[in-house]
Amino acid sequence: MSANASELESLAQEVETATTLLAQSKAGIAKRIIGQDTVVEQTLVALLCGGHALLVGAPGLAKTRLVDTLGTVFGLHTNRVQFTPDLMPADILGSEVLESSEDGARSFRFLKGPVFSQLLMADEINRASPRTQSALLQAMQERQVTIAGQEYDLPAPFHVLATQNPIEQEGTYPLPEAQLDRFLLQIDVSFPSRETERDILLATTGAAEEEATQVFTPETLMAAQAAVRRMPVGDAVVEAILDLVRAARPEDETAPDFVRESVSWGPGPRAAQALMLATRARALVQGRLAPSVDDVVALAYPVLIHRMALGFAARARGEKLSELISRLTERAITTEAAA
């Protein structure tokens, strides 16, 4: 057997193992999260990519419940931080305290903050000041923090799942663009349908509620993350990603007129990287060995929505970024099909 064939066989086995665990995970999550199939899938995609996700939705849509359930299913050490305007960076990262020993000697000891976890839930992240929000930047990108000149590695794997309320904006601070770019996906959590809400009422207001059980371990999750990066990607998928991301930049020569007229700034290369990884992860979640152009279509919105901005004139005209991304996606896929 050739090395290439052996590698593909090994990858196929890893994908099969991960697919089985993911099917069990989705079944366990469905016991506690009812009807949010797309939200659950996109959150699983973020975790399989080793990335972070921003959950945006009104209060009471089970965002916190989802993160708690994921921590149980994946066997991750989970911490939760409720962001408030008076929250300080040390409240997240930790701080040094001065201690005295029995012989009177004094020394500093570092007390780790809640960021030292495998799954950090940053609840209502936009309620903290930019100074506190920026304390997460190094952690999210480098998986380490620096305190008093000393670097501390975070546990592996490390993920941030942040929530944001798009309705109540009083006393909030918009997330800096540099921090938004660190979120692999923005996952919009919408209101359930009538039938789904009926199921929620029946399932959550009785004497007992369903509980999720652990399926993954941190080690098996990291093995699945490694398998995602080894999955092959066809040229058609790569070209569709490039067509989409580059056309979203108003200064690019391939950008259509509606982008040049409406978009003030577009996505950088990190968006293309995110889309490349996310399409692989979605294929794995659905039990496929390689991604397709359909995965690019499905993930274009959560990858791009927080990495672009409309200009003032476009906002005044009532344009919506979601509709612009839909037009861009359709254009990119049509272009790739024609090629």
Q: For residue range 151-207, what is the model confidence (pLDDT) as tens digits?
A: 899 999 999 999 987 776 666 777 878 888 899 999 999 999 999 999 988 888 877
In this structure, how many other beta carbons lie within 10 angstroms of the beta carbon of residue 250? 18
Please check whether residue 127 is in contact with residue 85, taking contact to mean a CB–CB distance below 8 angstroms: yes
User: Regarding predicted confidence, which is higher, 4 or 298?
Assistant: 298
The pLDDT value recorded for residue 203 is: 85
Phi, psi of 197 (to 5 degrees): -65, -35
Task: Say how far apart CA 204 and CA 199 lie, in whole Å.
Answer: 9
Task: Say how far apart CA 110 and CA 300 lie, in whole Å.
Answer: 42
Q: Which residue has the tokens 């299913």?
A: 73
Structure tokens at 187: 């996952």
The pLDDT value recorded for residue 249 is: 94
Helix (H, G, I), strand (E, B) or coil at 95: strand
Task: Say how far apart CA 42 and CA 188 lie, in whole Å.
Answer: 10
Q: Please classify residue 288 by burial: count the beta carbons closer than 10 Å to its beta carbon, then call 0-12 exposed, 13-18 middle and 19+ buried.
A: middle
Angle at 273 between CA 225 and CA 48, to 5 degrees: 20
Q: Which residue has the tokens 């004497």?
A: 207
- The yes-or-no verdict on residue 339 having pLDDT over 70 is no
Question: Which of the 8 DSSP states describes residue 170?
Answer: T
The pLDDT value recorded for residue 1 is: 44
Q: Which residues pair with 109 in a beta bridge?
A: 97
Q: For residue range 211-270, what is the model confidence (pLDDT) as tens digits?
A: 889 999 999 999 999 999 999 999 999 999 999 999 999 999 989 999 999 999 899 999
Q: Judging by DSSP bridges, how do beta strands 150-153 and 159-164 pair with one another?
A: unpaired
For residue 6, the surrounding DSSP H or E stretch is helix 3-30
- The yes-or-no verdict on residue 305 having pLDDT over 60 is yes
The pLDDT value recorded for residue 146 is: 85
Q: Which residue has the tokens 């020993």?
A: 101
- The yes-or-no verdict on residue 48 having pLDDT over 90 is yes
| Local confidence band at 66 (pLDDT 50, 70, 90 cut-offs) | very high
State the first-to-last Cα distance of the chain, in angstroms, to the nearest integer: 35
- The yes-or-no verdict on residue 299 having pLDDT over 70 is yes
Whether cis (ω within 30° of 0) applies to the bond prior to 269 is no
